[in-house]
Amino acid sequence: MAHRYAIKEIFRTLQGEGGLAGTPMVFVRFAGCNLWSGREEDRASARCDFCDTDFIGGERLTAQEIAGRVIALAGPAWVCFTGGEPALQLDRALLLEVRGHGYKVAIETNGTLGLDTLRPLIDWLCMSPKTPDLVVRSGEELKLIYRGQEPAAIRAFEVLGFQQFFLQPEWGPRYDELLAGALQFLQEQPRWRLSLQVHKLLGLP
């Protein structure tokens, strides 16, 4: 029997964040995460208690079925695997299936699960740290959600081997305050850049 992946949704939009912002992509969102169950009643005890993504439920699809749905959303050259936490399920079989149809592959991960064996098949690795327990130590971009951290805590990530570093204000009722704080930090250093959730500002998926 063919292996099936728990998939919350597959949709086409523009990448709204980080170094590939503005790039048309098909997003494959896996169900499930290792830092939070996704249920509101568990948020207070979650290792990441500020996630704003619905990754519960969905359906179980084979690699071929996932690729078929990606192809049906014709246009973008990129597929982005996200979640939840994609490293819980993403494997060589699915990556090879998607790449076999000519797509470039991006992944958005919290960095707590190893990706070394899959790394040669990933064109763009974005790590968004939510806890100190990081296994992923390098990639194309590190995107830190800014929640008011001290400058030293932000700069501590610079020892990691990422090509680009982004600071992204947390979306929510404190957004204006956090945006102002992020802008102040960015003006005082040369390495970090601002990431905005452009898709939310534009009302895109």
Percent residues over pLDDT 90 in the chain: 94
Catalytic residue among 53, 54, 101, 177: 53
d(CA 2, CA 49): 35
Structure confidence at residue 8 as a pLDDT band (50, 70, 90): very high
The first and second tokens of residue 2, run together, are 């063919």
pLDDT at position 74: 85
Phi, psi values for residue 153, rounded to 5°: -70, -35
Catalytic residue among 17, 30, 48, 166: 48
Q: Is the peptide bond before 84 cis (omega within 30 degrees of 0)?
A: yes
Catalytic residue among 17, 27, 141, 157: 27
Catalytic residue among 52, 54, 133, 177: 52
pLDDT at position 21: 97
Phi, psi values for residue 204, rounded to 5°: -90, 160
Tell me the domain boundaries of the chain: 5-202
Catalytic residue among 17, 30, 33, 81: 33
Q: Can you name the CATH fold of 5-202? A: TIM Barrel (3.20.20)
Q: Catalytic site residue 33? A: yes
d(CA 42, CA 68): 35
Predicted structure pTM score: 0.95
Q: Catalytic site residue 108? A: yes
Beta-strand relationship, 78-82 and 138-146 = unpaired
Q: Catalytic site residue 170? A: no
d(CA 67, CA 97): 7
Q: Which residue has the higher pLDDT, 160 or 74?
A: 160
DSSP 3-state assignment of 88?
A: helix
Give the amino acid at 191: R
d(CA 202, CA 83): 21
- Terminal-to-terminal C-alpha distance of the chain: 33
Structure confidence at residue 96 as a pLDDT band (50, 70, 90): very high
pLDDT at position 1: 84
**pLDDT tens digit sequence for 107-122:** 999 999 999 999 999 9
Q: 44: which residues sit within 8 A by CB, 6+ positions away?
A: none
Specify the DSSP element, H or E, that contains 200.
helix 198-202
Q: Which residue has the tokens 């992946």?
A: 5
**pLDDT tens digit sequence for 163-177:** 999 999 999 999 999
**pLDDT tens digit sequence for 20-58:** 999 999 999 999 999 999 999 999 999 999 898 999 999
Q: Catalytic site residue 185? A: no
**Residue 128 contacts residue 144 (beta carbons within 8 Å):** yes
pLDDT at position 110: 98
d(CA 170, CA 147): 6
